[in-house]
Amino acid sequence: MTSQASNFKTLLFWLSSKLQSKFSLFSLPGIINILFELFLILFLGACFYLSIPIYSEKIIYIPKGSTRSIITHLQHKGYNVSLIDTYFLRLIGRPQSGWIELPQQTLSKGQFLNALATSKAPMKNVTLIPGETNYFFLRQIAKTFNFSVSELETLYNKYAPYSDGVILANTYSLPYHADPDFIMQTLINQSLEKHKLLAIKFIGHYDKEQWFQIIAKASIIQKEAANVAEMPIVSSVIDNRIAKKMPLQMDGSLNYGKYSHTRITPDRIRNDLSEFNTYKHSGIPRTPSGSVSVEAIQAAINPANTNYLYFMRNKSGTHDFSATYTEHLKNIKKVKN
């Protein structure tokens, strides 16, 4: 960079000295010569400026917005760009939005600006279904991107504050050529930002421990409710049982981790010693037992106003709710008959 700057200064000195040529400033040949040399100075200056090296991540995210806002975004990310680049970029073309895959990590400024306008990263979609566990989602990612499951698990544990419920249920479009570290950081960081926004929207502030206790409740609701309409009612059952110091005794919380699709049996209830066994432990587990939807979060925060303490899945696949154990036994009998 020092050598380039020195050469450029020498070039400018030589060109400016040419302005003192034998042509008169007021003669037509002199004016033409001056204009030509000024153009040459600007052209060579632009060539030098666009040759300055820029070091970049192989895959970067470009937000939607004006060319100037994109340059400002890149400045905040530590890239060596300035408002001058706004004009160069406008000459090259409109910047792409979304994930950009660069041909290499060291580029000239001209190559970098051209890549912003022409490059696009090939993408793959992965969907985290509401109620699914991180255990199975990581295996889905590993299969889609040909990653090691154990490496993804290590990276998840490195970046995520809880073993589950951090990555929100959603469809994620991710760069196909990204490495495992990039994928996990992207999923977790995007979700944590969304958690903060949802917390501020629904309860007015974000406190990590308080919020993820809500997510833990929502994860039980997500697994237990037959549909969105039932979610606030299931939420009320949880609150009513806790208020009466009754164990939750909800099978959904035992569908954690690798047990996401496993039928809950009496033997499992007796032998599972985890915090997710709400037959043995009172209250809501400290950790979410799976992914959640926004609807489940809303239900956890805003339960229905009921006196229900029990519910039983009926023959239609929804639930019959009851306030007394006697009513609950009748609902069980209806299913068995």
Find the mean pLDDT for residues 189-217: 97
Would you place residue 1 in the very low, low, confident or very high pLDDT band (cuts 50, 70, 90)? very low
User: What pLDDT shows up at residue 3?
Assistant: 54
Nearest-angstrom CA–CA distance, 294 and 194: 10
Per mean pLDDT, which range of 40-44, 91-95, 206-210, 227-231 is the poorest?
Answer: 40-44
Decide if pLDDT at 95 tops 90: no
Would you place residue 49 in the very low, low, confident or very high pLDDT band (cuts 50, 70, 90)? low
**55 beta partners:** 106
User: What pLDDT shows up at residue 261?
Assistant: 94
Nearest-angstrom CA–CA distance, 128 and 172: 8
Domain coordinates in residue numbering, the chain: 2-50, 53-118, 122-306
324 within 8 A of 309, measured Cβ to Cβ: yes
Burial class (CB in 10 A: 0-12, 13-18, 19+), 239: middle
**Cβ-proximal residues to 153 (8 Å cutoff; 6+ apart), any chain:** 138
| Residue with the larger pLDDT of the pair 11 and 316 | 316
256 within 8 A of 187, measured Cβ to Cβ: no
**174 beta partners:** 124
Phi, psi (deg, nearest 5) at residue 6: -65, -45
User: What pLDDT shows up at residue 2?
Assistant: 47
Q: What 3-state class would DSSP assign to 61? A: strand
User: What pLDDT shows up at residue 22?
Assistant: 45
Q: pLDDT digit string (tens) for 136-195?
A: 999 999 999 999 999 999 999 999 999 999 999 999 999 888 899 999 999 999 999 999
Decide if pLDDT at 119 tops 90: no
Find the mean pLDDT for residues 234-250: 97
Decide if pLDDT at 311 tops 90: yes
Can you list the alpha helix ranges (DSSP code H) found in the chain? 2-18, 28-50, 67-76, 84-92, 109-118, 134-145, 149-159, 180-203, 208-224, 231-243, 266-271, 294-301, 325-336
Decide if pLDDT at 102 tops 80: no
Nearest-angstrom CA–CA distance, 229 and 321: 13
Go through 146-180 and write b for each residue having 16 or more CB atoms within 10 A of its CB, e for each that does not.
Answer: ebeeeebbebbeeebeebbbbbbbbebebbeebeb
By percentage, how much of the chain surpasses pLDDT 70?
A: 85
Considering Cα of 49, then 50, then 53, then 58, what sign does the dihedral take? positive
Beta-strand pair 319-322/310-313: antiparallel
Nearest-angstrom CA–CA distance, 319 and 61: 45
| Residue with the larger pLDDT of the pair 59 and 217 | 217
Per mean pLDDT, which range of 37-46, 97-106, 118-127, 300-309 is the poorest?
Answer: 37-46
| Residue with the larger pLDDT of the pair 55 and 304 | 304
Nearest-angstrom CA–CA distance, 59 and 94: 18
Would you place residue 63 in the very low, low, confident or very high pLDDT band (cuts 50, 70, 90)? confident
**98 beta partners:** 62
| Residue with the larger pLDDT of the pair 33 and 210 | 210
52 within 8 A of 46, measured Cβ to Cβ: no
Decide if pLDDT at 242 tops 70: yes
Name residue, tokens 């033409």.
32
Q: What 3-state class would DSSP assign to 11? A: helix
Residue type, 183: I
Angle, CA of 254, 162 and 186, to the nearest 5°: 120
User: What pLDDT shows up at residue 243?
Assistant: 97
Find the mean pLDDT for residues 301-329: 96
| Residue with the larger pLDDT of the pair 293 and 62 | 293
Would you place residue 72 in the very low, low, confident or very high pLDDT band (cuts 50, 70, 90)? confident
Per mean pLDDT, which range of 61-75, 90-104, 197-211, 292-306 is the poorest?
Answer: 90-104
Can you list the alpha helix ranges (DSSP code H) found in 66-207? 67-76, 84-92, 109-118, 134-145, 149-159, 180-203
Q: What 3-state class would DSSP assign to 133? A: coil
Find the mean pLDDT for residues 25-52: 66
Considering Cα of 69, then 107, then 155, then 143, what sign does the dihedral take? positive
Find the mean pLDDT for residues 218-239: 98
Record the pTM: 0.76
